[in-house]
Amino acid sequence: MAEVRFNKIRKEYGSTVIVDDIDIVFPDGSLTVLVGPSGCGKSTSLRMLAGLEEISGGEITIDGRVVNGLEPKDRDVAMVFQNYALYPHLTVLENIAFPLRATKTGKRDALRRAQEVADSLGLGALTSRKPKDLSGGQQQRVAIGRAIIREPAVFLFDEPLSNLDAKLRVETRFELMQIQRRLGITAVYVTHDQEEAMTMSDRMVVMKDGRVAQSGQPEEIYARPNSVFVATFVGSPKMNIIAGAIAGGEFRSSMGSRVALGAHVRQESVILGVRPDDLLLTPNPAGLARVALVELLGPRAIVHLDAGGDRLTSVVDADRLSDLSTGIAVDLAVRPGAAHFFDPDTEDRIELS
């Protein structure tokens, strides 16, 4: 059982602030994903928690105990890296048992325990193989086994799947989630991939420039992003963002497009955000937007629109494509209640009603 807390955690290299007084609570037993663009301070934050990086300010606690001054091995954490270096000359079983070599566990007990861990990870039949005779996903599971065997209070993952191809990444991601849920170990997972963050996390912490841009359940963040940055970082294809003004139930972009809102608010200057799924298209020869390109993705299609200079995207059911070929003019509307609004100066979310 371990709740992890970052209290005003800061990291500086010389005069450069890399992590800027962040507060994060990682609830006991949860899988929290730190996500954000490259360079925003995710890995540094994880490495400070692991004890691999000095902390310039603030406190990190694990289960109420301040760990700032503790060596990595005394923090009761285990870390799985992207480049999980397995020992090539050791078998799967020996690799998993390796962390117990320096403990009081005898060799026989260590190997028996490693076998249990291997079984729990679906590696039970592969324990006498060497790493080179395993697939990438199996190797990754061995690395996880090696982290699990010490029964850490906290599991740390730094982009552990980025060396795997797309299909294997999805499979291993799913396995990793199942293992974490089954063991109930508090886990902190770092990735730059918002889709990975959305699908895996109980809690998601979106970082930008060394700060927390927004944290919460992934569904909450997706539904109510608190800024243009978070709105466009989370979700694929990206949310449409258009600057303009609202009058008479219609949004008028400064570039010339028009989007029907249905809501009768007035706001002289606003940024409209519309998820591609919520941008509705109606063919109309007098429409101001034009279909520029259609990308078919199986049952759904991405429709790229040229709307008087605004480049927008809509996602539609593929069976609508007979109406929406390239060059067709359309009217635009937002699905009722699905418009997001942001302040044009601060780019923070605003509520209009």
Residues at the interface with ligand ADP (CB under 6 A)? 13, 18, 36, 38-44
Residue closer to ligand ADP by CB (options 16, 322) is 16
Neighbouring CB atoms inside 10 A of 193's CB total 16
Give min distance, CB of 32 to ligand ADP, in A: 15
The pair of three-digit structure tokens given for residue 84, joined into one six-digit string? 């999980």
Residue closer to ligand ADP by CB (options 41, 287) is 41
**CA–CA distance, 96 with 142 (Å, rounded to integer):** 6
Give min distance, CB of 23 to ligand ADP, in A: 17
227: DSSP letter: B
| Tokens 């420039």 found at | 209
Neighbouring CB atoms inside 10 A of 124's CB total 14
Residue closer to ligand ADP by CB (options 39, 309) is 39
Cis peptide before 237 (omega within 30 of 0): yes
Largest Cα–Cα distance of the chain, in whole Å? 80
Residue closer to ligand ADP by CB (options 43, 139) is 43
Give min distance, CB of 95 to ligand ADP, in A: 27
> Angle, nearest 10°, between helix axes 107-120 and 136-148?
130
Q: Which of 114, 118, 143 is nearest to 106 (CA)?
A: 114
Give min distance, CB of 79 to ligand ADP, in A: 14
The pair of three-digit structure tokens given for residue 149, joined into one six-digit string? 């065997």
Residue closer to ligand ADP by CB (options 38, 322) is 38
The amino acid at residue 52 is L
| Tokens 């020992």 found at | 87
Torsion sign across C-alpha atoms 79, 80, 81, 86: positive
Residue closer to ligand ADP by CB (options 41, 276) is 41
| Tokens 């954490």 found at | 77
Buried b (16+ CB within 10 A) or exposed e, 259-269: bebebeeebee
146: DSSP letter: H
Residue closer to ligand ADP by CB (options 42, 75) is 42
* β-strand partners of 334: 279
164: DSSP letter: S
Give min distance, CB of 60 to ligand ADP, in A: 15
Give min distance, CB of 163 to ligand ADP, in A: 16
Residue closer to ligand ADP by CB (options 157, 342) is 157
Residue closer to ligand ADP by CB (options 44, 253) is 44
The amino acid at residue 80 is V
Give min distance, CB of 36 to ligand ADP, in A: 6
Give min distance, CB of 54 to ligand ADP, in A: 10
- Secondary structure of the chain: what % helix, strand, coil (to 5)? 30, 35, 35
Give min distance, CB of 51 to ligand ADP, in A: 15
